[in-house]
Structure 1
Amino acid sequence: MAKQIANWGHQVDILEPERSATRITELLWESQHDAWVLKTVSGGPGLSLLEAASVAGLTTINKVSAIRKVRDKAVAAAVARHHGLPFPLTYFVSTPDLLYEVPLEHYPLVVKPANGSSCRSVYLVRDRAELAKVRGKVLGEGFLLAQPYITNPGTDIKVYAACGTLYATAQRSPLHPDAPVRDQMIALADDVAELVTEVGAVFGLDLFGVDLVEGPEGWMVVDINDFPSFRCVPDAVGRVARGVLRLAAERRVELPPVPQRPVNAQSGC
């Protein structure tokens, strides 16, 4: 995407926070960019830099407030349920041992990290015996979520949203590795499109993905991601790049004048 935007005549600078030291306190005066775009894994240092840019008054894509809501899956669950979105009942625990406090009536359970991504460490737990085995696998994953499993045929629907345009794919569920489903584009049903649009509005997202399953009570949202891979979307690079440029132009802000500061200013106590 960065190459595409550069090929269209725009200046693009790529900052890799894992490999560089950033003058984070000087972003307001040093940045001459129309927008900052975050594309990094959950829990990475990029979000801290993006939030610093936002505090400095710079345009960010997605908005920092929206990214915060979805990257912490516990917060995402609370926001979704508060706004009436179809989202599973969710338990939050700080240690694996606390999973034993989830009532048996909610089994089988889906257990996953609260800051997970890319289907990492997602487990289907059918009973307390299986929970004992999963406990060791999720040690070190930080805070955890537990949700009642939604009966489904083993297919997740992933809808990618690029600045108002939606694309749907069918994917094999990480809980059903043997399901005969391969990633492929599918037609987007009207009710699913309406639900995904509502998700974007509730969370304030522009570039995002929504994972859904069709259970006994209809469609359920099971995950929300900011800036996903857009896998299988035709001309994904061009579509997302054009969306970023449009958002940057719409939200461009005039930076304040550079303040005159002493060259050798020293900090005091």
Structure 2
Amino acid sequence: MRIGLITPDPGHPLLAGAAALLARDHVVEALDPTPPGDVPVPVPRRPADVYLLKSGTPHAVGLARELERRGAAVLNSAAATALCQDRTEMAGLALRAGLPFAATRTVGGPFSAWASGSPLAAPVVVKSRHNRKGDLVARADDTAALRALARAWPQEPVVVQEYAPNSGWDHKLWAIGDQVFAARRRSELSPGGQGPNLPLSLEELPPGWADLVREVGEVFALDVFGVDIIDTGGGTPLIVDINAFPGVRGQAEAPAALASLTLRRAADHRRPRV
């Protein structure tokens, strides 16, 4: 079997660990979706049996769409990956599905123009609309702070979420197929910064949180994904972000889970449909 990795970083610990396991019996090929000179990467003439899409850039998603069109299985699908890159669409689907997702509004037009005419009555969290590495995620407690953010990111398309009081810890939950992993870390909005992920067993999570993560996977048609949750009191979860194919760092069993899921997905894709 041939297995493709759509990523500019095949040495990422999760991918590298899974690839090492898969390479014992299969051929594993890396496909860098980053185009030189902004020229799209050629689609392989003979696609692999299954691809792991560990990139959410427009070029990577476009490449995955074409591979799907040519009959390859892609995990996560191009459509599901693209959905998680747009926080407006993400929030809309989550809220329509009844998930406990943070109320999210999209700022129309340049951030700077909106902020200059919007006095702030309560703290908010401002995020880039388009989910990507190095994007904007910041808390603004007052109008001055909001306008300072807008001066730093004047043309950035953003969404705004009401700030929900919480313990100051983010719960990072990840799913690889049906297997859920968990950690906590200081919120990126905390003054001291995030700090390291601290692994958690599922037994340490509030009741129902692991099932909530699996429900997110069903709603968003995701196979490998992360869900950022804050505890707003008494174990009440609030989802603040969803990520397609996150790193799942610090989880020793994650590479084996990914390798196993990859083979199952390829087998399911090959199986004739009745």
Alignment TM-score, normalising by the size of structure 1: 0.83
Shift of 1:44: 4.7
Seen in structure 2, the aligned counterparts of structure 1 residues 19 and 6 have a Cα distance that, compared at 3 Å, is: farther
8 Å Cα contact 1:119-1:174 kept in structure 2: no
Partner of 1:130: 145
Partner residue, 1:257:
none
Partner AA of 1:198 in structure 2: E
Say whether residues 1:194 and 2:211 are aligned partners: yes
Contact 2:52 2:74 in 1 (8 A): yes
- Tell me if 1:62 matches 2:76: yes
Deviation at 1:224, TM superposition (A): 0.4
1:209 aligns to what?
Answer: 226
Deviations 1:14-69 (A, max 9, x none): 11122565334xx5xx22411122112x4352111001112333211112221122
Query: Aligned residue for 2:262?
Result: 244
Q: Which of 101, 109, 118 does residue 87 from structure 1 map onto?
A: 101
Distance 1:122 1:103, change over 3 A: same
- Is structure 2 residue 162 aligned with structure 1 residue 145? no
Indicate if the aligned counterparts of 1:34 and 1:253 stay in contact, CA closer than 8 A: no
In structure 2, the CA distance between the partners of 1:195 and 1:100, relative to structure 1 (3 Å rule), is: farther
Structure 1 distance, partners of 2:124, 2:32, is 37
Residue 222 of structure 1 corresponds to 240
**Cα distance in 1, alignment partners of residues 54 and 271 from structure 2:** 22
The change in CA–CA distance for 1:193 and 1:151 in structure 2 (over 3 A counts) is same
Sort the Cα spacing of 1:5 and 1:172 in 2 relative to 1 into closer, same or farther, 3 A: same
Deviation at 1:150, TM superposition (A): 1.0
The alpha carbon displacement at 1:131 in A equals 1.0
Is contact 1:59-1:253 (8 Å) kept? no
Inter-CA distance 211–7: structure 2 relative to 1 (3 Å threshold): same
Task: Tell me what 2:31 maps to.
Answer: 15
What secondary structure is seen at the aligned counterpart in 1 of 2:72?
A: coil
Q: Please say if 1:233 is aligned against 2:251.
A: yes
CA–CA distance in 2 between the matches of 1:59 and 1:193? 26
**8 A Cα contact 1:58 1:253, kept in partner:** no
Q: Counterparts of 1:239 and 1:194 in 2: how far apart (Å)?
A: 18
SS in 2 for 1:222: strand
Distance of aligned partners of 1:13 and 1:125 in 2 relative to their CA distance in 1, 3 Å threshold: same
Question: In structure 2, do the counterparts of structure 1 residues 109 and 149 end up closer, same or farther at CA, with 3 Å as the change threshold?
Answer: same
Matched residues in 2 for 1:18 and 1:193: separation? 34
- SS of the aligned residue for 2:208 comes to helix
Q: How big is the shift at 1:235? A: 3.1
- Structure 2 residue matching 1:136: 3-state secondary structure: helix
Q: TM-score, normalized by length of structure 2?
A: 0.82
Q: Which has the greater radius of gyration?
A: 1
Seq. identity, %: 30
For residues 191 and 6 of structure 1, do their structure 2 counterparts lie closer, same or farther at Cα, with a shift above 3 Å needed? closer
CA contact 2:183–2:198 (8 Å) conserved in 1: yes
Unaligned stretches of 5+ residues in structure 1:
255-269
Instruction: Look up the equivalent residue of 1:193 and give its one-letter code.
Output: A
What does residue range 30-179 of structure 1 map to in structure 2 within 5 Å? 30-40=45-55, 42-93=56-107, 94-96=109-111, 97-99=113-115, 104-105=120-121, 107-118=122-133, 120-141=135-156, 143-178=157-192
Q: Take 1:195 and 1:101, find their aligned partners in 2: how far apart are those partners?
A: 38
Q: How many residues align?
A: 247
Q: Which amino acid aligns with 1:231?
A: R
- Can you list the C-alpha shifts for 1:83-114, whole angstroms capped at 9, x where unaligned? 11111111112310224566745x21100101
